[in-house]
Chains A and B, each alone.
Chain A
Amino acid sequence: MSDPKIEGYEFKPGFGGMAADTASDQTMFKGVHWGKAMMWIFLLSDTFIFSCFLISYMKGRGSTPVEWPNASEVFGLHVFGVDVPLLLIAIMTFVLITSSGTMALAVKYGYEKNRKMCGWLILATAIGGLTFVGMQAFEWSKLIHEGVRPWENPFGAAQFGSFFFMITGFHGTHVSIGVIFLFIYAYKTFAGHYDERKRGWFTSMKGDYVEIEILGLYWHFVDLVWVFIFAFFYLW
């Protein structure tokens, strides 16, 4: 494959490289897989979506004269006769970070062409994500049973419900989509599609372990968003 955008390209590090990149002919990120560049652009736009959600949450919470529900109590669990604040959310955070770690290792082993290790780690990541979604479903049903609705709740300001369902729902959707793709990629890895450079289902692009890194970027982003949701929605 001779790609004029890649042929004869030499990467320069530092600000000199940045000047060369931004002033370069035809394409800015020479030598970068297009899928990776596009994933970064997508994540940038997704950042703006989640920022808008969190900023509207800030605006809604800041402008209501009614007391905001105490997240520490609302999301607390009663286990073994003790009330533990935010227990489920803490476990969800640790599960998501664990799955982020396995994904980072999967990317590393992918580049080392260690097919088995890469596949198992992607599978572990998918199971972590599935656990997270399951716990979120439990949390949703618990709150719905307690009477939390997008328009009212028994704990305080009415806006709480709508922001909760909107923000965690959108994040949960991202996790669910990620889990589906993780299972697909785990299959593709085990089947050796990246070793054989087999073409994908909807693309003529040859399989390459860079696809694992692209999926990894998405998965780490989901974890990244959770860091912000955890801080602003659950802890603040």
Chain B
Amino acid sequence: MAEADKKEQTTTHKIGIYLWIWGLLFVLSFFSYMVDWYQFQGMLRWSLILIFMFLKAGLIMAFFMHLFWERYALVNVLLWPMTAIACFIFLMVAEFKYTLFTRLLYFFVGG
């Protein structure tokens, strides 16, 4: 037992916090389903989808995956590489706009 205690200094958390997060995830999922149900369109739809998505992802990572209680070294090792994904998204947005432009130009307008 002693070596187990030394190895992993885990503290268990109260059951309430898990139930709260669980409930919040249900509510947020319900809201994001409502976005489709009421057929919101345009910027309102996209921003609502993104807000609910990031809230859910944040709750799962912070509390279910214990990142909120985790040491900063691990959190930083995990989160900084995400900026590479963000860069990749920006690059590919520029790329798909260019591809769409050339397709419209050559397929429909004629080069």
Contacts and interface: CB of A to CB of B under 8 A. Distances in A.
Co-assembled chains A and B: yes
Interface of A: 1, 3, 6, 11, 13-15, 17-18, 21-22, 28-29, 31-33, 37, 40, 44, 47-48, 51-52, 55-56, 58-65, 72, 85-86, 90, 93-94, 97, 100-101, 103-105, 108, 111-112, 197, 208, 210, 213, 216-217, 220-221, 223-224, 227-228, 230-231, 234-236
B64 A210 contact: no
Nearest to B56: A227
A164 B10 CA distance: 40
Contacts of B29: 90, 93-94, 97
A55 to B, nearest CB: 5
A177 B55 CA distance: 27
A234 B70 CA distance: 32
Contacts of A28: 73, 77
| Shortest Cβ-Cβ A-B pairs, 3 listed | A62-B96, A21-B73, A63-B99
Given A228-B53, A231-B49, A65 B73 contact: no
7 contacts: A14-B72, A21-B71, A59-B92, A63-B95, A86-B36, A100-B25, A208-B8
Contacts of B37: 85
A213 to B, nearest CB: 8
Given A65-B108, A236-B49, A227 B97 contact: no
B71 A48 contact: no
B93 A11 contact: no
Max chain B CB contacts within 10 Å: which of A6, A13, A112, A235?
Answer: A235
B68 to A, nearest CB: 12
A19 to B, nearest CB: 9
A48 B26 CA distance: 27
A37 B18 CA distance: 23
Nearest to A20: B73
A230 B56 CA distance: 11
B78 A31 contact: no
Contact of B71 (A18, A216, A220, A224): A18
Nearest to A33: B8
B21 to A, nearest CB: 8
B84 to A, nearest CB: 8
A17 B39 contact: no
